Structure 1
Amino acid sequence: MPRVVPAVIRALDILELFLDRPQLSAREVAERLDLPRTTVHELLVTLVARSYLISVPGQPVRYRLGMPLFQLGAAFAGRLDLVREAQSVARDVAAACDEAVHVAVLDGADVVYLVKVDSTHPVRMVSGVGLRLPAHCTAVGKILLSSLDRPSLDTVLAKGALPGMTPDSITDPDALRAHLDHVRAEGVAEDIGESDGAMRCVAAAIRDHSGATVAAMSVSAPIIRWTARAQVEWRDLVREGAATLSTRMGYATQSR
């Protein structure tokens, strides 16, 4: 098996610290990664030399992400037809219901949000592109988990007890399996206060040209607007939106 290079892993660990902090000092990096300061200094000097990090003006021992990371991210996003098409469809769905619409993909046991179109209401869901959440706590995540084959799902659930985000989160793997059977049969999934006690979400699957589920779309709203009538309307709307996006990804053409 090829050897993993520790220095590269540590450099990547440093860069990933900036996912939730716009700036960090060398001391903060060392403390958060529990690494010797001399090691951190060498890694930071290297990352700065390649412009992956830059010193904050006037604060030479504080750092922020550099332009090459934006360029890499833009190159990756530019190759994602899903993101481009999802933004268009999500805007249409959001306009129809005036609630937040998300598109997310599965990454291990988590979901990562690729697209968000917000509502115009003053009370709205706090989320954003790049947000990562436990898949089993979200409507989009349940849809994506329900699409996995048995071995893949077993791998995701292999660690046993699942972390909960609210008292309503499903934390028992067997209970989640049973719930996913229901999601699979329904074709939609709901998050009833499982990721945020004040929010409700409904999601449907997005498929590509091969018929594989590659993402999920959701409509999210505060509980104060989650009426029985709205729930039915939004279930239909998110199904239609996901189907439209699937068509743009080639699914409908493939299935005819």
Structure 2
Amino acid sequence: MARVVPAVIRALDILELFLDRSELSAREVNERLDLPRTTVHELLVTLVERSYLIAVAGQPVRYRLGLPLFQLGSAFAGRLDLVREAQIVARDVAAACDEAVHVAVLDGADVIYLVKVDSTHPVRMVSAVGRRLPANCTAVGKVLLSGLDRASLTAVLAKEPLAGMTPQSITDPDRLREHVERVRAEGIATDVGESDVAMRCVAAAVRDHSGAIVAAMSLSAPIIRWTPRALREWTELLREGASTLSIRMGYPPARR
């Protein structure tokens, strides 16, 4: 069995400290990782030698990330394939709940479905990859709208009258804006018969390496299987699935 190299682990631990700080001093690195001072010094010197860290001008014991990390990150981002990664995660989520799972992106005031994994139940959601629906009528759409800044959201809502698909659809711009603000705060959206009176959906955001919402993942089920207990379980499952896909798209995992 291959052996993990402790020095490499420690060097990576140092680099990961910069995920939430633009600069760190040698003393701060030492305090955060609780490593011997000489070990930290040697690791920092090595990282600077390879330009993974750069000493701040005029402050030789203070550091920031170097250009090679940007180059590596850009190479990684350039090889990411949202559809491929989404299919992998959506299959896992669907297998865990046996309900339909979708991944969609925003296109103007509409959503376009990129990925669909069906349930095995005879009664299930009718949808298709490539289908376009009004964002205001869907759970994925509301999540994606919540990722827009307020000016961009206002511009989308002002373009044309909001389409309605059922009597439950939110077609009033002011009401939708308030609804999207709640989704932005809660990080989850639901569709209670707004795109299909017989169906219910819950959706969560998928983020990329910059933290921007680039897609939304939803779980859909007919009303006959939509119970309070199921909703709680599915919401948690969906949050985990969207988080997993976000990490696969380069979003840093939450520190524990």
Aligned to 1:67: none
Q: Partners of 1:165 and 1:155 in 2: how far apart?
A: 22
* SS of residue in 2 equivalent to 1:252: coil
Aligned CA-pair RMSD: 1.7
Residue 107 of structure 1, CA deviation = 0.3
Identify unmatched segments of 5+ residues in structure 1. Answer: 1-77
Q: Partners of 1:95 and 1:107 in 2: how far apart?
A: 29
Aligned to 1:148: 148
Q: Describe how 1:12-31 pairs up with structure 2 within 5 A.
A: none
Give the TM-score normalised by structure 1.
0.67
Letter in 1 for 2:247: T
Larger radius of gyration between Structure 1 and Structure 2: 2
Give the TM-score normalised by structure 2.
0.67
Aligned to 1:49: none
1:20-66 Cα offsets, whole Å, 9 max, x none, are xxxxxxxxxxxxxxxxxxxxxxxxxxxxxxxxxxxxxxxxxxxxxxx
Q: Partners of 2:80 and 2:167 in 1: how far apart?
A: 36
For the pair 1:113 / 2:109, whether they are aligned, the reply is: no
Aligned to 2:100: 100
Letter in 2 for 1:225: R
Q: Partners of 1:254 and 1:208 in 2: how far apart?
A: 14
* SS of residue in 1 equivalent to 2:120: coil
Aligned to 1:185: 185
Letter in 1 for 2:217: M
Contact kept in structure 1, 2:80 and 2:249, CA below 8 Å: no
Moved more, 84-93 or 149-158: 149-158
Aligned to 1:237: 237
Aligned to 1:37: none
Q: Describe how 1:2-17 pairs up with structure 2 within 5 A.
A: none
Q: Describe how 1:1-256 pairs up with structure 2 within 5 A.
A: 81-159=81-159, 161-252=161-252
Moved more, 232-241 or 245-254: 245-254
Residue 160 of structure 1, CA deviation = 5.3
Question: Size of the alignment, in residue pairs?
Answer: 179
Residue 159 of structure 1, CA deviation = 3.2
* SS of residue in 2 equivalent to 1:157: helix
Q: Partners of 1:198 and 1:252 in 2: how far apart?
A: 37
Identity of aligned residues (%): 79
Residue 155 of structure 1, CA deviation = 1.2
Contact kept in structure 1, 2:188 and 2:204, CA below 8 Å: yes
Aligned to 1:42: none
* SS of residue in 1 equivalent to 2:252: helix
Letter in 2 for 1:226: W
Q: Partners of 1:205 and 1:82 in 2: how far apart?
A: 13
* SS of residue in 1 equivalent to 2:209: coil
Letter in 2 for 1:245: L
Aligned to 1:29: none
Q: Partners of 2:163 and 2:241 in 1: how far apart?
A: 30
